[in-house]
Structure 1
Amino acid sequence: MKILIVSDTHRYLGNLQTALEEEEPVDMLIHLGDIEHQMADVIQMAGCPVHMIAGNNDFLCNLPEEEEFEIGSYHVWITHGHRYGVSFDTEEIKEEARILGADIVMFGHTHRPHLEEEEDLIALNPGSMTYPRQSGRQPSYMVMTLDKEGKASFEIKYL
């Protein structure tokens, strides 16, 4: 199973389209917020199941702020992250993820890719497809792959 994880597209879907083309086929798309009123376009582009949550710039939309679901044997919690201090560190969001019983927490907001794999929890941020803030400022996303045994691996990718 191949999952494309993106965040912070901020109304510009060109890089998302490029990532979908480069990674096709994908079995699922996860968007971690700051879509800004392009929800139907994202769903139509993906051509696969889509999980999307609202970010701090998604005003007057009907998306949930958080969602929990299963990917294989993993309990996944997605949130934009701005309510959990992710601009400073990941301690608060990881604490909440553990309270929720999550194996994986996915968040956006910082516009910087981040991957922490601890013994009991994986915390990840794919960065921004539109306004990257990390060194080099390349648009980024992540690919999560489940192997035949159901073990997850993650890769940060750049456009």
Structure 2
Amino acid sequence: MKILIMSDSHGLIDEVEEIKLRHQQEVDYMIHCGDSELKAADQILSGMDVVKGNCDDDEELPNEVIKEIDGCRFYITHGHLHNVKSTLMNVTYRALECNCDIVCFGHSHIAGAEMANDILFINPGSIRMPRMRKEKTYVILELENSTATVHFYEVNGDIIKGLTAEFILKDG
């Protein structure tokens, strides 16, 4: 099972469409963690689970999505309502409340993946304005049995080998 995860595209249309087209035949789900600055009904976002970021003004976008994919419960949020730029504690509590295994979020524009409290946290970075590194990034998450492999890609489709990380998920 493969899941495309992006965030913080801040009005980019061509790049979002190119990423979707590039991977549409290999991924099973697509997620946008907010700050698309597009309307929920925008064709560019079709086929994606999308949440509302602090720069999104469409009230049709939800603040969070909880979804089960391949036996894993996902908590999808932008992160601004959980203060993720300062701490993961608040979003951790929410993920625990919802019995989620994986948290997908954005807001900080900092690409990274880490495991804490038996929860995998994934921030795909930003495909427009990255912070802490020069590459504009997104993620393809590969789930196989209880292993989650997080592959980071540059906006042009090149994999960033040094950022790939593998995690063992808790048994459900």
Q: Does the alignment reach a TM-score above 0.5?
A: yes
Q: Distance in 1 between matches of 2:138 and 2:39?
A: 18
1:12-31 to 2 correspondence within 5 Å? 12-25=12-25, 26-31=27-32
RMSD across aligned C-alpha pairs, in angstroms? Answer: 1.8
Deviation at 1:66, TM superposition (A): 0.5
Deviation at 1:117, TM superposition (A): 2.1
Deviation at 1:55, TM superposition (A): 0.6
Letter in 1 for 2:136: P
Further displaced range: 71-80 or 6-15: 6-15
TM-score (norm 1): 0.86
Q: 3-state SS of the aligned residue for 2:103?
A: strand
Question: What number of residue pairs does the alignment pair up?
Answer: 153
Q: 1:74 aligned to 2:76? A: no
Q: 3-state SS of the aligned residue for 1:77?
A: strand
Cross-structure match for 2:5: 5
Letter in 1 for 2:103: V
Deviation at 1:154, TM superposition (A): 1.4
Letter in 2 for 1:58: D
CA-to-partner distance for each residue in 1:41-95, whole Å, 9 max, x for gaps?
A: 3234xxxx42111111111330111110101110111111001111112222112
Q: 3-state SS of the aligned residue for 1:116?
A: strand
Q: Distance in 2 between matches of 1:124 and 1:30?
A: 12
**Contact kept in structure 2, 1:72 and 1:150, CA below 8 Å:** no
Cross-structure match for 2:63: 65
Inter-CA distance 82–42: structure 2 relative to 1 (3 Å threshold): same
1:122-141 to 2 correspondence within 5 Å? 122-136=120-134, 138-141=135-138
Name the % identity: 31
Q: 1:156 aligned to 2:169? A: no
Q: 1:37 aligned to 2:38? A: yes
Q: Distance in 2 between matches of 1:98 and 1:107?
A: 15
CA-to-partner distance for each residue in 1:111-143, whole Å, 9 max, x for gaps?
A: 11120124611011101111111222x210010
CA-to-partner distance for each residue in 1:85-108, whole Å, 9 max, x for gaps?
A: 111122221122112211011111
Cross-structure match for 1:104: 102
TM-score (norm 2): 0.80
Q: 3-state SS of the aligned residue for 2:9?
A: coil
Q: Which runs of 5+ in 2 are unaligned?
A: 156-172
Task: Decide which of 38, 50, 54 is 2:48's aligned counterpart.
Answer: 50
Q: Which runs of 5+ in 1 are unaligned?
A: none
Inter-CA distance 151–73: structure 2 relative to 1 (3 Å threshold): farther
Say which structure, 1 or 2, has more relative contact order (CA 8 Å, 6+ apart). Answer: 1
Cross-structure match for 1:120: 118
Letter in 1 for 2:23: E
Cross-structure match for 1:145: 142
Q: Distance in 1 between matches of 2:116 and 2:85?
A: 20
